[in-house]
A and B are shown apart, each in its own frame.
Chain A
């Protein structure tokens, strides 16, 4: 393929005007620039968020307090404290609960769609999952606020229904489509000869799934779960509306929490530009960027792994 392309390049000059050739050069340069634009954007996101919080990070950030203190009191007059541990724990408790829901449901649905359905049913299910993914997060948040909130209060006799449970269920449902679609790809990528060999040995479909397909698609499925985790960590508006705004370490799923993302979203509008508080929020942004970067990077490496194995 590469060789073909070089030949194609060699054919540049055949009877064409200089202007046409120059135009072609130009468009190819533009294409190249756009091709590399994603690198530029990721880099500038990191840079701008970092620079906006730089003064705070360099001069007043106490890394130990920032990461391991549970006291987030940015508006105190005498003693401002910027500890994000409670927010990080909030993020991970909601994400963890979301994964408890999304992983079994997502992988179950991925297996069902890939191995136990076919034709029209398969198409219909995939389209439905796609539509589930399209519901905007503010609509999920609204559902959490007006439907799940009273439901949780009634079912669990909780004082407030805006808590880890509410946010976890919403985030679970929001992460499921990613897990299903990536997971289904991973299972589909296992060669049919594996299935045929297993069935020929007398295994039924479920035994084939458990003993052949799942081990073969392992890294792809793990990548699917990681991408779901990334989605859940980064989700903002839905958790802002559904988890109840309480900066605390939760002791049960019925406790209210606040996540890293929700803190930025709810406080950025109230801070004055350039203040410590404002810059501390950008520092949280860097923390989030780093978290999701690591999660997505590992997912990408996993996907590469499973593609490599298939070859």
Chain B
């Protein structure tokens, strides 16, 4: 840290420096202990699941009461849920962020909106599930369907999109907007032609993160649209579907006699999907940061 200066040799300085080194080491160990679980989880899943992870596993349906076969319907179901929830959450989330960053003043209304977003992010996933059952399945009569489950997921992941989009918009310098206003452009014209083009990639990163959240959730889809087992693929948003997260839950808690590699391989696919989406978003983000000109 600090360079060893020739006149820093009193006993006090040396012991102080030594103590700092010890603390630094301890904190380093604490941090390392947090990384170990991540690596060991990955390693264990790969070790036990890799043997079952074949192309066949990815592309066939479960068979023999879910004790054999693959996870194709679960993958398709997860794609449906993620796609539909994204289609709902992305526009609302991005527009909400535009409002908060570009229109809202510093007043109590904005404070309440921000408070609502914080709390929406903090509502337990099972309460979102209860809401999904009460509002979409029963009140709007959508039944247990992809639509109900996706809408529940969309509301649950909305804060993720709002927060990251707001960050992307805030990264566009104020001087860009002022320059545009000075040319006589209106607020919306400025947003449309200056703010959004300069932040679109940052917004996409946040949207990608929503995908990872939505794909991993189990509780909100459990009672609103995801099924334990379906012999057919969903044809429309009114059908039920299987989901990877739900399938892993079912395999490991509800079905007796599942051969060991099956749930491991399912977990591996789910984790692989979520991680690759996250890594993509991280790579895009750091690329953008390195390319930013202001």
Contacts and interface: CB of A to CB of B under 8 A. Distances in A.
Interface in A26-53: 27-28, 30-32, 34-39, 41-45, 48-49, 51-52
Nearest to B219: A236
Contacts, number: 278
Interface in B183-229: 184-190, 212, 215-219, 222-223
B186 A49 contact: no
Given A44-B131, A142-B263, A9 B186 contact: yes
A5 interface: yes
Interface of A is mostly: helix
B237 to A, nearest CB: 20
B216 A134 contact: yes
Given A234-B122, A264-B126, A296-B118, A37 B188 contact: no
A154 interface: no
B259 interface: no
A289 B130 CA distance: 11
Contacts of B127: 45, 49, 234, 285, 288-289, 292
Interface string B5-27: 00000000000110110011011
B30 A135 contact: no
A156 to B, nearest CB: 19
Nearest to B249: A138
Contacts of B223: 268-269
B131 A49 contact: yes
B34 A11 contact: no
A77 interface: no
Given A35-B100, A48-B139, A112-B30, A127 B249 contact: no
Given A12-B186, A282-B134, A38 B113 contact: yes
A14 B17 CA distance: 67
A261 B27 contact: no
A295 B122 contact: yes
Interface in B84-128: 91-93, 95-96, 98-100, 103-105, 109, 112-128
A186 to B, nearest CB: 16
A296 B124 CA distance: 11
Contacts of B245: 136, 138, 237
Interface stretch (A79-87, A103-111, A212-220, A248-256): A103-111
A153 interface: no
Nearest to B277: A134
Contact of B95 (A34, A135, A147, A237): A34
Contacts of B217: 136-137
Interface of B: 1, 16-17, 19-20, 23-24, 26-28, 30-31, 33-35, 37-38, 41, 44, 91-93, 95-96, 98-100, 103-105, 109, 112-131, 133-135, 138-139, 155, 158-159, 162, 174, 177-178, 181, 184-190, 212, 215-219, 222-223, 245-246, 248-249, 252-253, 263-264, 267, 270-271, 274-275, 278-279, 282, 286
